[in-house]
Amino acid sequence: GGAGRAEKASEVASVVAQDGAQALSHWLEDTAPARREAYQKAHTHMSSLWDSVRVTSAVAVSKGQRLAADYGHAETVETATARLNAAAGTAATASSAVFGRLAAAFAVQPEDHGVGSDSADTSGTKVSQ
């Protein structure tokens, strides 16, 4: 009766889970190069963007200090410097958060994915050259 149906359902669920794990493993293997390339491009872009933000901030601080000094407003220099440093810090925090999300989104899995490695059928496994 019910025990036989539960056993059959358990067997079906086991087969479906194994098939899903194998499909996931194949997908991770097949998409690893594209994900690695996308991650590297995003990393390069974010690094370049961050370098640009740092340089621009440094130039702005320097110009602000010179302008304030030219007008003899030492207090204004300190205020402007503090504001620009705070803005640069905020940009750094935002950049780090975005980069962290990108890194997680494009994370490249190790070659051994640990999915079904004990009982996986390797007859269709690709051989690296």
Contacts 24+ apart (CB under 8 A), 123-126: 124/26, 126/29
Is there a contact between 23 and 58 (Cβ–Cβ < 8 Å)? no
What's the CA gap between 65 and 86, in Å, rounded? 15
pLDDT confidence of residue 34: 92
| Amino acid, single-letter form, for residue 66 | R
What's the CA gap between 109 and 30, in Å, rounded? 11
pLDDT confidence of residue 116: 44
pLDDT confidence of residue 25: 92
What's the CA gap between 76 and 23, in Å, rounded? 62
pLDDT confidence of residue 90: 76
Q: Tokens in use for 101? A: 């999300």
Mean pLDDT of 86-105: 72
Mean pLDDT of 99-125: 54
Position with higher pLDDT, 69 vs 30: 30
Position with higher pLDDT, 73 vs 37: 37
Residue 15 reports pLDDT greater than 50? yes
Q: What percent of the chain has pLDDT over 90?
A: 22
pLDDT confidence of residue 23: 94
Q: How confident is the model at residue 53 (pLDDT cuts 50, 70, 90)?
A: confident
